[in-house]
């Protein structure tokens, strides 16, 4: 691009621009063809030189420059909207209307997937938004490439006035409840970013779904409880609006989704330990089918090679050891299958919690059983101390787990009973 043309665009010098065109009528066309980034119209739109923009738009082929993109994929309309150059923006839209393409100019996206209305909302250009919505209403309803709406951009960049303008003009409840790529509504997002004034404004609007769930199954009240600075007033307004927290199954679903890989790793370790205990039992196995008698002659062994020694010395405890090892192994494998297949129904989640609990407890039981089989019979003090360890740890785990299950069931029944009473 000619240096003099660039300087004229920066200064907004219409006289210098006209002189250049008199010297070379194709100066503007050459600039449009050779420019790799911003052409003179881009520069004038950024700086707000309205008279210079008018002078460019009077050239016959100037409309082509309106559609030209810089390295960020932005047209002069994008830049005018971003920098709040209202008069420049009106001139560009008027030029587009003459070519019956003002609407398409508003829909044009930059490299980040944002149209001029998105940029105006991000930078809080309220007056620009009002003009652009009249020119291209559909552009306000378009989502970004990331999946969010223009309302999500307002909250992400903390532009409350722009949000109010858009909500008042659009008046679509389903648009207010639209979700971004993370399944979050604007209410979720306002609470997540701790924009309390914005959250209050959203809660005042009709048709807001306060119990909408994000991709992790969390409601707005769940998100509020997860942020560091909890505002009691926001919590009170949410509860007045009928907001609810996630129930047990939803919380378990969150746990599975967020820690799926860790659950699979833990269950793989449990299954490996149970498998190893089964093929290498405590006390080892008989090694030979023949044994030597008192004279050194080989005689048949009453026990076959490969059989567990403890199966004959402690048959009852060995049966318990085998049962707990098998149970732990298959419970761990079943848990891995459920997490891999992504079963998220209530029954599947309940079964997952039971299986994971069963795999851990039965593995602990197998461990204690193997220790009991290896006791030295003449060491009563060791036996007594190990008995107390077994009572405290093994039975303690069963007791605590049982109390947790009873508490959960009681909470669920209480919730159903209260709901029944309210309905009555």
Q: Of 245, 269, 304, which one is at a domain's C-terminal end?
A: 245
The first and second tokens of residue 297, run together, are 């002659």
Residue 385 lies in a domain: no
The range of the structural domain enclosing residue 170 comes to 3-245
Same-domain check for residues 123 and 233: yes
Assess whether 208 and 262 both reside in one domain.
Answer: no
Does residue 187 sit in the same domain as residue 109?
yes
Q: How many domains does the chain have?
A: 2
Q: Would you write out the chain's pLDDT as a tens digit for each of its 424 residues?
A: 678 888 898 999 999 989 988 888 888 877 777 667 788 899 999 999 999 999 999 887 777 778 888 899 999 999 999 999 999 999 999 988 887 888 889 999 999 999 999 999 999 999 999 999 988 888 998 998 878 899 999 999 999 999 999 998 887 778 888 999 888 999 999 999 989 899 999 988 888 888 888 887 788 888 887 776 556 788 888 888 877 765 544 555 555 666 677 778 888 998 898 888 878 887 777 676 555 555 656 656 566 666 777 777 778 878 888 888 888 888 888 888 877 776 656 666 677 777 887 888 888 788 777 777 776 654 445 455 555 555 565 566 666 666 665 665 555 545 444 443 333 3
Tell me, yes or no, whether 154 lies in a domain. Answer: yes
Mark whether 65 and 186 lie in a shared domain. yes
Residues 73 and 125 occupy one common structural domain = yes
Copy the structure tokens of residue 203: 């809660």
Are the CB atoms for 129 and 84 separated by under 8 Å? no
CB atoms < 10 A from the CB of 415, how many?
12
Longest CA span, the chain: 126
291 forms bridges with which residues in the sheet? 299
State residue 277's pLDDT score. Answer: 82
Q: Is residue 380 in a domain?
A: no
Classify residue 299: in a domain, yes or no.
yes
Residue 193: Cβ-neighbour burial (10 angstroms; 0-12, 13-18, 19+): middle
One domain, residues 62 and 161: yes
Same domain, 144 and 24: yes
- Residue 68, by phi and psi: left (phi above 0), alpha (psi -120 to 50) or beta? beta
Q: What is the CATH number of the domain that holds 60?
A: 1.25.40.20
- Structure confidence at residue 421 (pLDDT): 38
Last residue of a domain, one of 203, 222, 245: 245
Q: Is residue 22 situated within a structural domain?
A: yes
Residues 10 and 97 occupy one common structural domain: yes
Tell me: do 156 and 186 sit in the same domain. Answer: yes
Of 245, 280, 310, which residue constitutes the final position of a domain? Answer: 245
Residues 6+ away with beta carbon under 8 Å from 82: 74, 116, 119, 120, 122, 123, 125
pTM of the model: 0.62
Same-domain status, 173 and 288? no
Q: Within a domain: residue 395?
A: no
Both tokens assigned to 335: 């848990």
What is the three-class DSSP state of 289?
coil
Q: Indicate if 26 and 156 belong to the same structural domain.
A: yes
Identify the pLDDT of residue 91: 93
H helix runs in 280-379, sequence order? 310-313, 315-341, 346-373
Residue ranges of alpha helices (H) inside 2-141 are 3-11, 14-23, 27-34, 40-47, 50-57, 63-67, 76-83, 86-98, 102-107, 116-122, 126-135, 137-141
Kindly state whether residue 233 falls inside one of the protein's structural domains: yes
Verify that 335 and 227 share a domain, yes or no.
Answer: no
Residue 410 lies in a domain: no
At residue 110, the pLDDT reads: 93
């Amino acid at each position: 691009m000619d240096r003099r043309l660039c300087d004229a665009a920066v200064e907004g010098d219409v006289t210098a621009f006209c002189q250049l065109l008199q010297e070379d009528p194709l100066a503007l066309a050459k600039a449009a063809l050779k420019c790799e980034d911003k052409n003179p119209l881009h520069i004038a739109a950024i700086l707000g030189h309205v008279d210079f923009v008018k002078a460019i738009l009077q050239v016959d082929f100037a409309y082509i420059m309106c559609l030209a993109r810089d390295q960020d994929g932005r047209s002069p309309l994008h830049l005018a909207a971003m920098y709040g150059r209202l008069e420049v923006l009106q001139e560009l839209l008027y030029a587009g209307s003459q070519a019956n393409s003002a609407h398409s100019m508003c829909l044009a996206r930059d490299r980040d997937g944002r149209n001029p209305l998105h940029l105006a909302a991000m930078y809080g250009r309220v007056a620009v938004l009002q003009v652009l919505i009249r020119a291209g209403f559909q552009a306000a309803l378009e989502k970004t490439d990331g999946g969010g709406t223009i309302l999500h951009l307002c909250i992400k960049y903390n532009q409350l006035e722009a949000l109010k303008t858009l909500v008042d003009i659009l008046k679509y409840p389903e648009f207010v409840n639209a979700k971004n790529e993370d399944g979050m509504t604007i209410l979720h997002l306002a609470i997540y970013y701790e924009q309390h004034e914005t959250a209050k404004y959203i809660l005042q609007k009709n048709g807001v779904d306060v119990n909408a769930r994000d991709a992790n199954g969390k409601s707005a009240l769940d998100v509020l409880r997860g942020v560091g600075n909890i505002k009691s007033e926001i919590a009170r307004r949410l509860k007045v609006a009928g907001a609810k927290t996630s129930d047990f199954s939803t919380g378990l679903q969150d746990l599975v989704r967020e820690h799926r890989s860790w659950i699979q790793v833990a269950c793989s370790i449990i299954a490996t330990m149970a498998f190893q205990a089964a093929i290498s039992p405590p006390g080892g196995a008989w090694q030979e089918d023949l044994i030597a008698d008192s004279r050194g002659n080989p005689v048949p062994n009453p026990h076959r090679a490969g059989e567990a020694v403890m199966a004959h010395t402690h048959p009852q405890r060995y049966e318990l050891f085998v049962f707990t090892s098998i149970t732990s192994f298959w419970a761990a494998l079943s848990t891995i299958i459920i997490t891999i297949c992504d079963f998220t129904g209530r029954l599947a989640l309940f079964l997952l919690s039971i299986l994971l609990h069963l795999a851990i407890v039965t593995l602990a039981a197998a461990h204690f059983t193997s220790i009991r089989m290896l006791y030295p019979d003449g060491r009563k003090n060791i036996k007594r101390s190990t008995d107390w360890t077994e009572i405290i740890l093994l039975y303690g785990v069963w007791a605590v787990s049982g109390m947790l299950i009873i508490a959960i069931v009681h909470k669920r029944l209480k919730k159903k009973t209260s709901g029944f009473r309210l309905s009555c």
